[in-house]
Structure formats: structure tokens, C-alpha cells
């Protein structure tokens, strides 16, 4: 069964409602682009005035338009748009792009009109793109439903989905000068109906699209987006530029997890979960897209640098490490081959510095040697204008060498007018060039990230939802249902009861003030350790009550919690907070009282699997320290991974939980125990 969105991308016939014979009108621009694009389907124009436009009749009534027609481009007054959608439905048109502006983006009145458009569309099964958008474009079909100034974008393999029409228009013009093209472009506008989640699989299904880029200002449905993107990224890379990182006024949160989490942490986690590569800038997004479209993926992170100058080589070495890559250790065979082709003063070790005298043939022979090295996964070639040769001559020899390898090679082509011809040669051969080593290193980095994702994405390990007998389980019952180890906590409401409970649990014990109004107990001295007798328990009870009353005189004090003291080990924090867009967001990091000060934390979307949990741990000092550091003994990392996975499923399964936090999780030489657990339910 065909997708209901197919007419936006492969229409049998297009009608422009609001076509105009005035060149300054949008209705003229859309009509012109449809004709000039070379679209071979039926093209029809509807206008208030009869006549002709581009040698085609102007109909004054939609009912006069002959078949086939399954896509309408609406360029009509805002107030007339809902009725025009009704007219499209009666005509049998099930897809409409609303180019007109003046809807939700201008205020309450426009929002009400937009709602009327959606209501009319949903009543008749019509899908809407926009309003306030520039439409869709396909360079291979070809099809251009936009009103942008010609020429049409260059053909390419990059699918471009944008929340902003202005950004898309600017990028199209910029891309021509940069030498790359697009397969499909979709401008979403206000997303009254069709959104990024809807169009992502559709663009991915296009055979000409090799990589997809997303310019995003928000997401309509976070969970659906992650689900859809996760399927797409198994087959094609997706890069996102999500803007609006620094929104003010994040909501207050009770726990450390909530305080440290934020919308950007959730987006980072969502993109990681879905396999989406998040770019920091527009330039970086398209640098990455060009590399992913045209370069093979490396088998690892070991990169070589080939340069004719020391300074750029050092820049490249730093940039590779910044992007998570490492310099290859060249084999003895490679070192011998390089030595045979280079003067004694050259450096044959990575970075390979051939010196300024390097000829085109030297560049090629050295590159071949590096590509044949089993320790090299990719090469960054630095090419400033050679003092004794033409840059384009070097380009020709490099292109030939690159063509015989299945390893990625990117060029830092440094300069301007002296490298223009070389730039054109590289572009014709689809060899990717970047103005500086940092950008070239970033491109290699994204290729390695994509390879790592493809290696690990199928590691999902679903966990069966646990059965909880009680309709209102206690925290202990909740953790027990997911087999998360805890130590029993008992509530004492007087000194005698505290001593009795401590004796039953066994000394030594820990005593903590019990109050819903005192979240961070250690801040007020509300935690006592190493209590070894009933007498110490009695004194401790009195002391804790005094401290609580002095620090928080209006707090509701329930008593004192008594808990068996756990052996010493490393302490970490594990938590989950319910993000309004993406659902349960997991956190791991340094535990105890320093968590917010250190901010040594990592986030990931639930549910977690082995690979996801291990990656969270790897990102933090707390996680790396689990393997031991100097006088700190190694502890059981696998037990932490086990708790992370189980807590992620607990958070997924129990949507009534707003936040849950284990701080600390005491990690021992064998096993881990949740020492203090805090749960906040949704209001």
C-alpha cells in the first residue's frame, strides 16, 4: 500500500491553486519552477482570473481541472485556506502543501485558522504540508514545488528536511558554490499535520538519497521520532542540527537527576539512541553529509596524516584526537617504503611530513603506502599549494591513488585562488576536500562514528515487564520486582525503637533523618555512619532530631531511618527522570554529595542494553574509575551495568514515576547495593 505522503514526493499531477501571471507573486514562482524543473506529470493552474500561464490554461474553478491530480499547492489568502482544503477533498486530492503564511506563527488568530485547516483536512483524510513552508523538491524525479529563484539545486545524494524555509533556501544557494547537491528537500513550516517523523522514512526510501540531514527547532512527538529514526539509521545515516540549546527557565527538580537533566541532555540521549549524528553547526552538518555520501567507512579509528608541512600536520593530529580518533602506528614495512621515497630529513613516522619539496608522484606513492598499511583505517592528506608544483597536478595523482582503495581519504585543501583548479578536479572525482585540517578530521571522525554505530546497533536486549503484586508498592517492593539489590531500611520513631531495630539488623548501622522535606540529608548533618552499639543509636537519634529541627524547623519529621552499613566501595549515582518529549531519561555518574558540583554524568534514553549502559559508564570519570585508579581498588563494573539496565526498564514500565534516583549505589568487589533511593511520583 502506498504511503499517504507519496503525492508530496511522486505526484501523478500537481495543481497550483493561486497561480499568478505576475512575476513578483509566489504563485508565479511556483508555476515557473514546476515547468522549468522538467517534471513530467500533469501540471494545472487555478487562478481567480482566466487566461494562460506558461502556455497552459488558468482554470477559475478546481472542478474544471482534469485528471490526473493528487497534489495541490495552496497559495491563497489565509482566511480562504480551510475552504480550499475542503474543495481539494471534494476533488479527490489527498495531499496539499500550504505555502501561505499568517497562521500559528503570527498569533492566536492565525493559530485558530491553522486549527480549522487541520480539522478540514482530517475530516476528509487530506494530509497537509506546512503552512508557511516552501514545499518539496526532488532533483532526480525531477520536481520543484517551491517558489525559490532558479536554478534548481544540483543533483546529489543528500536528503534535506528543514523546519525553516529560509534556512533551506539559503543552504540551496550556498551548496552550489560548495560543489555538492541534494536528492530531495522538504520544508516543513509550521507542521500543522505532516512533521519530521512522518517525512523521515519517506525521504529515506528514496533510492538516490544516501544520507539525510535535519534542521530541527523542536520535535513533534519524541518517542515516535526516536522509533522512526532508529529504523532509518540502520540503513542510512542521519545528521541533525538541533538549534535552541540554551533555553532559559528549566523547570525546578527535586532530585540530582532532575537538576542535571535538561531538554538538551534529552535530545542528545535521543539522538544517540536513534543513531542520529548531532552536528554543532550548519557547516559541520554538511561537511559530515558530504563525507558520508561519498566516502567508504573505516574499519576502526586509526588514522594517518600525510602532509608537506609540519604546522598543519600538528593541527591535524590534535584535531583527530579531538574527534575520538588515534594516530596509526605504522608498520615497519610502511616505514621502509616511505623512507625509500622521501629525503632523509623527512619524517616517516605518523604524521608523515614529506617536506615542501614533495612532488605529485611523492604524494601518490606515500599515500599508497599508507593505504596499504594494515594499521591504517583512513588518511587525512594535507595539501597547501606546493611551492614547486601545481596543486592540480598533485590532485590528479592523489585521485588515482584514492580510487584503488576502500579506505576513506579526505583532503585538507588549504588556500584559495591557487587551489581552485585542484578543487574542481577533486569535486569531479567525488573526493572530499575541506579548507582546514580540523574540518577534515571532523569528517573522518563522523565516518568512524557511523561505523561504530552499525557495528553495535543490533545489541538491543528487551526485558520482560516485571509483575508487582501491590497496587501501591513501596520503594523496596518496586526495586525487588526488578531484582535491584537493596539493603533493608527501617523507620524508628523513638530512641527505644531505633535501638531495637539496629540490634535486629546487626551492627554497624547507618542512621538518617527521615523527612520528605529534607531531600539532601548530608547537607544538614542528617546522616550518621559507623554506629556500633545501642547506646550510640540512642545518642544518634537525639542528635539527628536536633539537627533537623535546627536546620529545617518547619519540616515534617517522620523519625529516623536505620540501615545496615554496607562495606566500603565506590559510590555512583544512577537515576531516571521522565522527559516530556522522550520519556524515561537515564543518568549515571559520580555519586554521593558531589554529584551536582562535579557534573560528572552521562545521559541515555531508556531502555538500555549492554552496549548502551557500557557507553554511559565509559563517558564519565566515575565509570572509568570502576576499573581501579592508583590506590582505589577495582570494583564490579558488570553489576553497575546490570542495575542500569534494570532501572531503565523499571522507569519505562512505571509511567507514574516522575523521577527515581539511587544515590549512592555502592559498588563492591562483587556486586552493588542501592544504599539510598528516592522516588518522585507524577502529579
What is the tally of helices (H) and strands (E) in the chain? 23, 30
The predicted structure's pLDDT at residue 597: 64
- Write down which residue in 409, 441, 456 finishes a domain: 456
The predicted structure's pLDDT at residue 248: 46
**Considering the domain boundaries, does residue 482 fall inside one?**
no
Cis peptide before 131 (omega within 30 of 0): yes
The answer to whether 64 touches 41, Cβ cutoff 8 Å, is no
**Residue 260, pLDDT above cutoff 60:** no
Q: How far apart are CA 27 and CA 45, in angstroms?
A: 9
Helix (H, G, I), strand (E, B) or coil at 534: helix
**Considering the domain boundaries, does residue 316 fall inside one?**
yes
- Calculate mean pLDDT across residues 585-593: 87
Alpha carbon separation from 123 to 81, 120, 500, 584 (Å, rounded): 15, 5, 69, 34
- Write down which residue in 503, 535, 564 finishes a domain: 564
Cell of 99: 505555502
Helix (H, G, I), strand (E, B) or coil at 422: helix
326-327 vs 302-307, strand pairing mode: parallel
Listed in sequence order, the residues at least 6 apart from 249 whose beta carbon sits closer than 8 Å to its beta carbon are none
pTM: 0.90
105 and 149 fall within a common domain: yes
Give 432-490 pLDDT, tens digit per residue. Answer: 999 999 999 999 999 999 999 999 875 555 555 555 544 456 888 899 999 999 988 89
542 and 582 fall within a common domain: no
What is the pLDDT confidence band of residue 2, given thresholds at 50, 70 and 90?
confident
The predicted structure's pLDDT at residue 596: 61
67 and 204 fall within a common domain: yes
Residue 627's closest CA among 667, 597, 663?
667
Domain limits for position 386: 296-456
Other CB atoms within 10 Å distance of the CB of residue 62 = 18
Taken as a whole, the chain contains a residue count of 683
The predicted structure's pLDDT at residue 250: 36
Tell me what the pLDDT averaged over the chain comes to.
93
3-state secondary structure labels for all residues of 432-457: CEECCHHHHHHHHHHHHHHHHHHHHC
529 and 582 fall within a common domain: no
Cell of 16: 497550483
436 and 512 fall within a common domain: no
402 and 522 fall within a common domain: no
**Considering the domain boundaries, does residue 671 fall inside one?**
yes
**Residue 256, pLDDT above cutoff 50:** no
**Considering the domain boundaries, does residue 431 fall inside one?**
yes
**Residue 252, pLDDT above cutoff 70:** no
The predicted structure's pLDDT at residue 463: 56
- Calculate mean pLDDT across residues 252-264: 51
The DSSP call for residue 347 is: B
**Considering the domain boundaries, does residue 360 fall inside one?**
yes
Among the residue ranges 298-302, 367-371, 511-515, 679-683, the one predicted with the least confidence is 679-683
CATH number, position 448: 3.40.50.261
The answer to whether 292 touches 454, Cβ cutoff 8 Å, is no
Q: How many domains does the chain have?
A: 4
The predicted structure's pLDDT at residue 488: 85
97 and 237 fall within a common domain: yes
Give 74-116 pLDDT, tens digit per residue. Answer: 999 999 999 999 999 999 999 999 999 999 999 999 999 999 9
Residue 640's closest CA among 569, 574, 590, 586?
574
- Write down which residue in 564, 596, 611 finishes a domain: 564
Listed in sequence order, the residues at least 6 apart from 280 whose beta carbon sits closer than 8 Å to its beta carbon are 241
Listed in sequence order, the residues at least 6 apart from 652 whose beta carbon sits closer than 8 Å to its beta carbon are 583, 584, 606, 607
Q: How far apart are CA 606 and CA 613, in angstroms?
A: 10
Q: Which long-range contacts (CB under 8 A, 24 or more apart) does 294-297 make?
A: 294/157, 294/430, 294/431, 294/432, 295/408, 295/409, 295/410, 295/432, 295/443, 295/447, 296/406, 296/407, 296/408, 297/408, 297/447, 297/448, 297/450, 297/451, 297/454
What is the pLDDT confidence band of residue 594, given thresholds at 50, 70 and 90?
low
31 and 125 fall within a common domain: yes
Cis peptide before 67 (omega within 30 of 0): no
Alpha carbon separation from 62 to 67, 413, 619 (Å, rounded): 11, 55, 59
Give 376-420 pLDDT, tens digit per residue. Answer: 999 999 999 999 999 999 999 999 999 999 999 999 999 999 999
Q: How far apart are CA 647 and CA 656, in angstroms?
A: 14
Is the Cα torsion angle 112, 113, 115, 116 positive or negative in sign?
positive
**Residue 593, pLDDT above cutoff 70:** no
Give 556-569 pLDDT, tens digit per residue. Answer: 999 999 999 988 89
Q: What percent of the chain has pLDDT over 70?
A: 94
Q: Which residues pair with 563 in a beta bridge?
A: 489, 510
Residue 59's closest CA among 69, 44, 74, 77?
44
528 and 586 fall within a common domain: no
449 and 496 fall within a common domain: no
3-state secondary structure labels for all residues of 284-308: HHHHHHHHHHHCCCCCCCEEEEEEC
604 and 637 fall within a common domain: yes
560 and 595 fall within a common domain: no
Residue 29's closest CA among 5, 45, 12?
45
Q: How far apart are CA 366 and CA 466, in angstroms?
A: 60
**Considering the domain boundaries, does residue 616 fall inside one?**
yes
Q: How far apart are CA 125 and CA 48, in angstroms?
A: 26
Other CB atoms within 10 Å distance of the CB of residue 361 = 13
Output Rg (C-alpha) for the chain, integer angstroms.
Answer: 31
Residue 371's closest CA among 393, 402, 346, 350?
402
Cell of 431: 573526493
- Calculate mean pLDDT across residues 36-50: 97
Q: What percent of the chain has pLDDT over 90?
A: 87
11: left (phi over 0), alpha (psi -120 to 50) or beta: beta
Q: Which residues pair with 71 in a beta bridge?
A: 14
CA angle 385, 391, 393 (to 5 degrees): 155
End-to-end CA distance of the chain: 43
The predicted structure's pLDDT at residue 471: 46
Other CB atoms within 10 Å distance of the CB of residue 336 = 12
**Considering the domain boundaries, does residue 257 fall inside one?**
no
CATH number, position 202: 3.40.50.720
- 222-232 helix and 263-274 helix, angle to the nearest 10 degrees: 30
Amino acid at each position: 500500500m502506498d504511503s499517504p505522503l507519496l503525492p508530496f514526493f511522486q505526484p501523478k499531477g500537481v495543481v497550483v491553486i493561486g497561480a499568478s501571471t505576475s512575476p513578483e507573486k509566489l504563485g508565479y514562482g511556483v508555476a515557473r519552477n514546476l515547468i522549468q524543473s522538467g517534471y513530467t506529470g500533469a501540471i494545472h493552474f487555478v487562478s481567480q482570473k482566466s487566461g494562460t500561464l506558461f502556455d497552459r490554461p488558468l482554470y477559475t474553478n478546481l472542478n474544471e481541472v482534469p485528471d490526473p491530480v493528487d497534489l495541490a499547492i495552496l497559495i491563497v489568502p489565509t482566511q480562504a485556506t480551510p475552504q480550499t482544503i475542503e474543495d481539494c477533498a471534494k476533488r479527490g486530492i489527498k495531499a496539499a502543501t500550504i505555502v501561505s503564511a499568517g497562521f500559528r506563527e503570527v498569533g492566536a488568530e492565525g493559530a485558530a485558522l491553522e486549527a480549522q485547516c487541520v480539522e478540514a483536512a482530517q475530516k476528509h483524510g487530506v494530509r497537509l504540508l506546512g503552512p508557511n513552508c516552501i514545499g518539496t523538491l526532488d532533483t532526480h524525479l525531477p520536481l520543484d514545488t517551491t517558489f525559490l529563484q532558479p536554478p534548481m539545486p544540483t543533483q546529489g545524494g543528500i536528503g534535506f528536511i528543514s523546519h525553516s524555509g529560509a534556512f533551506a533556501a539559503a543552504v540551496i544557494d550556498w551548496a552550489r558554490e560548495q560543489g555538492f547537491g541534494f536528492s530531495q528537500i522538504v520544508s516543513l513550516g509550521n507542521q500543522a499535520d505532516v512533521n519530521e517523523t512522518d517525512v523521515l522514512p519517506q525521504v529515506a526510501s528514496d533510492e538516490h538519497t544516501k544520507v539525510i540531514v535535519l534542521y530541527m527547532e523542536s520535535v513533534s512527538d519524541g518517542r515516535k521520532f526516536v522509533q522512526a529514526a532508529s529504523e532509518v539509521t540502520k540503513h542510512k545515516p542521519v545528521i541533525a542540527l538541533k538549534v535552541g540549546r540554551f533555553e532559559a527557565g528549566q523547570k525546578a527538580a527535586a532530585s540530582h537527576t532532575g537538576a542535571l537533566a535538561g531538554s538538551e541532555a534529552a535530545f542528545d540521549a535521543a539522538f544517540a539512541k536513534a543513531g542520529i549524528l548531532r552536528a554543532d553547526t550548519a557547516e559541520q552538518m554538511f561537511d559530515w553529509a558530504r563525507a558520508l555520501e561519498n566516502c567508504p567507512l573505516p574499519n576502526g579509528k586509526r588514522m594517518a596524516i600525510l602532509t608537506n608541512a609540519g604546522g598543519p600536520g600538528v593541527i591535524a593530529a590534535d584535531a583527530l584526537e579531538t574527534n575520538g580518533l588515534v594516530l596509526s602506528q605504522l608498520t615497519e614495512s610502511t616505514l621502509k617504503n616511505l623512507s625509500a621515497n622521501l629525503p632523509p630529513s623527512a619524517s616517516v613516522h605518523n604524521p608523515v611530513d614529506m617536506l615542501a619539496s614533495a612532488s605529485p608522484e611523492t604524494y601518490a606513492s606515500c599515500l599508497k603506502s599508507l593505504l596499504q598499511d594494515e594499521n591504517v583505517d583512513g588518511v587525512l592528506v594535507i595539501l597547501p599549494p606546493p611551492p614547486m608544483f601545481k596543486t592540480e597536478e598533485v590532485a590528479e595523482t592523489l585521485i588515482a591513488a584514492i580510487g584503488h582503495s576502500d579506505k576513506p581519504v579526505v583532503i585538507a585543501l588549504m588556500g584559495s585562488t591557487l587551489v581552485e583548479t585542484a578543487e574542481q578536479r577533486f569535486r569531479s572525482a567525488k573526493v572530499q576536500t575541506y579548507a582546514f585540517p580540523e574540518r577534515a578530521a571532523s569528517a573522518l571522525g563522523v565516518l568512524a562514528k557511523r561505523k561504530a554505530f552499525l557495528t553495535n546497533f543490533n545489541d538491543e536486549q528487551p526485558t520482560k515487564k516485571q509483575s508487582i503484586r501491590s497496587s501501591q508498592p513501596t520503594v523496596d517492593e518496586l526495586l525487588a520486582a526488578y531484582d535491584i539489590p537493596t539493603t533493608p531500611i527501617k523507620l524508628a520513631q523513638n530512641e527505644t525503637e531505633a535501638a531495637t531495630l539496629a540490634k535486629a539488623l546487626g551492627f554497624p548501622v547507618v542512621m538518617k533523618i527521615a523527612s520528605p522535606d529534607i531531600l539532601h540529608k548530608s547537607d544538614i548533618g542528617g546522616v550518621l555512619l559507623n554506629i556500633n552499639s545501642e547506646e550510640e543509636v540512642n545518642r544518634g537519634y537525639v542528635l539527628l532530631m536536633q539537627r533537623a529541627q535546627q536546620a529545617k524547623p518547619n519540616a515534617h519529621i517522620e523519625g529516623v531511618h536505620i540501615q545496615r552499613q554496607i562495606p566500603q566501595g565506590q559510590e555512583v549515582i544512577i537515576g531516571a527522570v521522565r522527559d516530556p518529549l522522550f520519556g524515561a531519561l537515564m543518568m549515571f555518574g559520580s555519586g554521593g554529595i558531589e554529584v551536582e558540583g562535579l557534573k560528572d554524568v552521562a545521559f541515555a534514553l531508556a531502555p538500555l542494553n549492554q552496549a548502551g549502559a557500557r557507553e554511559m559508564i565509559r563517558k564519565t570519570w566515575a565509570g572509568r574509575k570502576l576499573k581501579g585508579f592508583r590506590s582505589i581498588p577495582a570494583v564490579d563494573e558488570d553489576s553497575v551495568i546490570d542495575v542500569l539496565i534494570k532501572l531503565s526498564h523499571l522507569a519505562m514500565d512505571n509511567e507514574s514515576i516522575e523521577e527515581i534516583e539511587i544515590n549512592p549505589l555502592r559498588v563492591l568487589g562483587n556486586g552493588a547495593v542501592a544504599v539510598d533511593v528516592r522516588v518522585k511520583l507524577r502529579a
